[in-house]
Amino acid sequence: MKVALASDHRGVKAMENIKAILSQLGHEYIDFTDGSPDQPMDYPDGAFDAAGAVANGLADRAILVCGTGIGMCIAANKVKGIRAALCFDELAAKVSREHNDANALCLSGDLLGPAMLQKIVQTWLSTEFKAGRHMRRVKKIKAIEDGIDPRQITSQ
């Protein structure tokens, strides 16, 4: 799997751990992070680049890191076709994939240590979308993105 990566300055250290995890698991990555912990970076820039890579088919999924993960999540979800999820534990990572078919994982660089990052990233990358009854809900999310009332979507 090819994963697009981006972080702001507060996520650089966590992103180094994530790169090691991806390499260990045999995944490729494209890193859109531009800077260092000492050089302020605006999270919307990286979110736009990495989420755009997923939306345009250059990557299969994205992992985005900022101080809390909130800013990256908000920005990534503005990119058409992106379903970004902010996760702080394995359960959220699993459900975001199984139920929501999340294609972008947003993480906190300030609040998550290396062990939890490992668990979340590994779970998120290895969990498949369950489809079934969840497919209708994902279609409703796309309808909203397209400016359509989601109640019009009734089939899976």
Active-site positions read 66, 99
Q: Which of 6, 13, 10 is nearest to 106 (CA)?
A: 6
| Per-residue burial over 24-48, b = 16 or more CB atoms within 10 Å of its CB, e = otherwise | eeebebebbbeeeeeeebebbbbbb
For the chain, list the strands marked E by DSSP: 2-7, 28-31, 61-66, 84-86, 104-108
Token digits for 102? 């999340």
